[in-house]
Chains A and B, each alone.
Chain A
Amino acid sequence: MVELTIYGIVLGSIISLGSIGLTLVYGIIRFANFSHGDFLTAGAYVALFLVTGIMAWIGIPDTNFGSLSFGWRMVIAFPISMAVVAGVAILLDQILYRRLRAKKSGAVILAMSSLGAAFIIRMIILILWGADSLFYKPGLMRPAIELPLGAKIRPDQILILCVVLFLVAALHIFLKSTKMGKAMRATADNKELALVTGIDTERIIIWTWGIGGALAAAAGILYGIDVQLHPYMGWNFLIPLFAATILGSIGNMYGALIGGLIIGVAQQVSTAFLMPTYKLPVAFIIMILILFIRPQGIFGKE
């Protein structure tokens, strides 16, 4: 049970990264982005392309760092992939959602459009890489470290937790102390007033997509490092992402962090009683319960 909880925290931290991005988009741009899961997938695959493709071609060495499953290639590919997916998210906004916003389309049309975008991203990945599961480093042995209480954790997973912590801290500082970060918080708080204040809400929207996309990409890469890559990996995360976002109150980044951890642990612990394929319904049931009992989430106002 302890082991399940620990792995649940690892999984949950990955979910958190994704749902922090989702909650920012939901809070600032005000629609349910159904393509967020596929941002995760895109991030993982872009990193795969860089690590197994370009870097091999350039000639960057492939050796791992000690007992971790990756080396310099991934360290370089990670931020690049984040930037690429941030760019993709911004591009989608400029091509699709901005036009729909200008036509005053409702939240449902925007959500429908994002559903289409989700399929488009996934189809492109399926065209380029096919439907099989892939790995950053196939055939690697993954030794685990023993922890007290008989639990085990892999060095990779410890690093995942560190990376998530780092990104969350960086985002926190950004939102608290920088001008753009404060403007994003203001826009999430009261979009109409932000407009009245002269804040350029279109620029805020671009930044929101960029950050959301980058964090989702990070989550996808981390999941790929820990488990595997396959084209539906992000889509399978969509319901847990929404569950975590709603649980933590829409627009609240710290809520999304906690929500993600709760969902992750709940999903892992459920595998003690249910088959692992039912992890998605577990997240879904939690989401329905929250919507029933306390729809504004843990941190929402009445």
Chain B
Amino acid sequence: MIILQAKDITVGYTEVDILHEVSITAGSGEIISIIGPNGAGKSTLLKTIFGLLKPRHGTITFKEWDITGLKPNMVVRKGISYVPQVDNVFPSMTIQENLEMGAFIRNDDYSQRLKEVYELFPAMAERRKQKVGHLSGGQRQMVAMGRALMLDPQVLLLDEPSAGLAPVLVSGIFEKIRDINATGVAIVIVEQNAKEALKMAHHGYVLAMGRNVLDDTGDALLANEEVGRLYLGG
């Protein structure tokens, strides 16, 4: 069942368009990976879906709603959460407070959800009173994801979660993403690390110069020679 669909998105930050008629589709509970060279517009696509940018053309549909042009604070209420690539935590606040901020718009008792998120990230539970600014990059990334999960989203948008992380931490992050997906959350992930991103993807999209170039299942793309040459480092 299709849960999120972006169709023919044309968008840019100024008069110059970054994306030209880009489309992606995500099914419920799937992992969708978007790869491609730098400057392809992958991050721009996520921002547009989340409402940080308004597309010039195209539509974005989430479940039964047309959310094109909807502001971020409304999009997040519908059930989509977004983790930016940088500046994705509140550094002067503790881990616990970061998660509480994630749950800010909830009016119910979310202690159960808090427990579930801590179960997903046990290392965070031990240090819940620590200020996030003092944590390492990898730990911060976990907090950023945990924050986004506090609202029980059905779709999680991740912008380059492994960026800037030491190689030894990268597999840990991707494992966590799989764990999150296992709880039923659909994930749309934009990644530089194309190999890992495609390994766990149900479906993958290759973007270049702001356009769709290729899309197929994750395995098919991994096996594709050209993709391998251009994006997977041989």
Query: Which residues of A are at the interface with B, using a C-beta cutoff of 8 A?
Result: 179, 182-183, 185-186, 189-190, 192-200
Q: Are B84 and A196 in contact (CB under 8 A)?
A: yes
Q: Which of B50, B73, B87, B151 contacts A193 (CB 8 A)?
A: B87
* 22 A-B pairs in the complex with CB atoms less than 8 angstroms apart: A182-B97, A183-B101, A189-B90, A189-B92, A189-B93, A190-B87, A190-B89, A190-B91, A192-B87, A193-B84, A193-B90, A194-B90, A194-B101, A195-B72, A196-B50, A196-B72, A196-B76, A196-B84, A197-B104, A197-B147, A198-B151, A199-B104
Task: Tell me the smallest distance from the CB of A293 to a CB of chain B, in Å.
Answer: 23
Q: Which residue of A lies closest to B104 (CB)?
A: A199
Q: Are A186 and B72 in contact (CB under 8 A)?
A: no
In the assembled complex, the Cα of A155 lies from the Cα of B151 at a distance in Å of: 53
Q: Which residue of A lies closest to B50 (CB)?
A: A196
In the assembled complex, the Cα of A220 lies from the Cα of B33 at a distance in Å of: 58
Q: List the A side residues contacting B97 at CB < 8 Å.
A: 182, 185-186
Task: Tell me the smallest distance from the CB of B145 to a CB of chain A, in Å.
Answer: 13
Q: Are A179 and B90 in contact (CB under 8 A)?
A: no
Q: Are A183 and B104 in contact (CB under 8 A)?
A: yes
Q: List the B side residues contacting A199 at CB < 8 Å.
A: 73, 101, 104-105
Query: Which residues of B are at the interface with A, using a C-beta cutoff of 8 A?
Result: 50, 52, 72-73, 76-77, 82, 84, 87-93, 97, 100-102, 104-105, 147, 151
Q: Which residue of B lies closest to A202 (CB)?
A: B73
Q: Are A186 and B84 in contact (CB under 8 A)?
A: no
Q: Which of B77, B92, B100 contacts A198 (CB 8 A)?
A: B77
In the assembled complex, the Cα of A199 lies from the Cα of B151 at a distance in Å of: 12
Q: Are B92 and A195 in contact (CB under 8 A)?
A: no
- SS class of chain A's interface: helix, strand, loop or mixed? helix
Task: Tell me the smallest distance from the CB of A276 to a CB of chain B, in Å.
Answer: 39
Q: Which residue of A lies closest to B98 (CB)?
A: A186
Q: Which of A185, A195, A197, A200 contacts B102 (CB 8 A)?
A: A197
In the assembled complex, the Cα of A189 lies from the Cα of B101 at a distance in Å of: 12
Q: Are A186 and B101 in contact (CB under 8 A)?
A: yes
**Extra pairs beyond A196-B72, A197-B102 (8, CB < 8 Å):** A182-B97, A185-B90, A192-B84, A192-B87, A193-B89, A195-B72, A197-B76, A197-B104
In the assembled complex, the Cα of A15 lies from the Cα of B110 at a distance in Å of: 41
Task: Tell me the smallest distance from the CB of B99 to a CB of chain A, in Å.
Answer: 11
| Centre residue among A183, A192, A194, A198 by max chain B CB count within 10 A | A198
Q: Are B93 and A196 in contact (CB under 8 A)?
A: no
In the assembled complex, the Cα of A182 lies from the Cα of B77 at a distance in Å of: 20
In the assembled complex, the Cα of A190 lies from the Cα of B132 at a distance in Å of: 13
Q: List the A side residues contacting B72 at CB < 8 Å.
A: 195-196, 198
In the assembled complex, the Cα of A179 lies from the Cα of B102 at a distance in Å of: 12
In the assembled complex, the Cα of A189 lies from the Cα of B89 at a distance in Å of: 9
In the assembled complex, the Cα of A195 lies from the Cα of B73 at a distance in Å of: 6
Q: Are B73 and A182 in contact (CB under 8 A)?
A: no
In the assembled complex, the Cα of A195 lies from the Cα of B51 at a distance in Å of: 11
Q: Which residue of B lies closest to A191 (CB)?
A: B87
In the assembled complex, the Cα of A189 lies from the Cα of B72 at a distance in Å of: 18
Q: Are B77 and A193 in contact (CB under 8 A)?
A: no
Q: Which residue of B lies closest to A185 (CB)?
A: B93
Q: Are B89 and A179 in contact (CB under 8 A)?
A: no
Q: List the B side residues contacting A196 at CB < 8 Å.
A: 50, 52, 72, 76, 82, 84
Q: List the A side residues contacting B151 at CB < 8 Å.
A: 198
Q: List the B side residues contacting A190 at CB < 8 Å.
A: 87, 89-91
Q: Are A179 and B104 in contact (CB under 8 A)?
A: yes
* Pairs A-B, 5 closest by C-beta atoms: A198-B76, A198-B105, A189-B90, A198-B73, A186-B101
In the assembled complex, the Cα of A183 lies from the Cα of B97 at a distance in Å of: 10
Q: Which residue of A lies closest to B47 (CB)?
A: A196
Q: List the A side residues contacting B73 at CB < 8 Å.
A: 195, 198-200
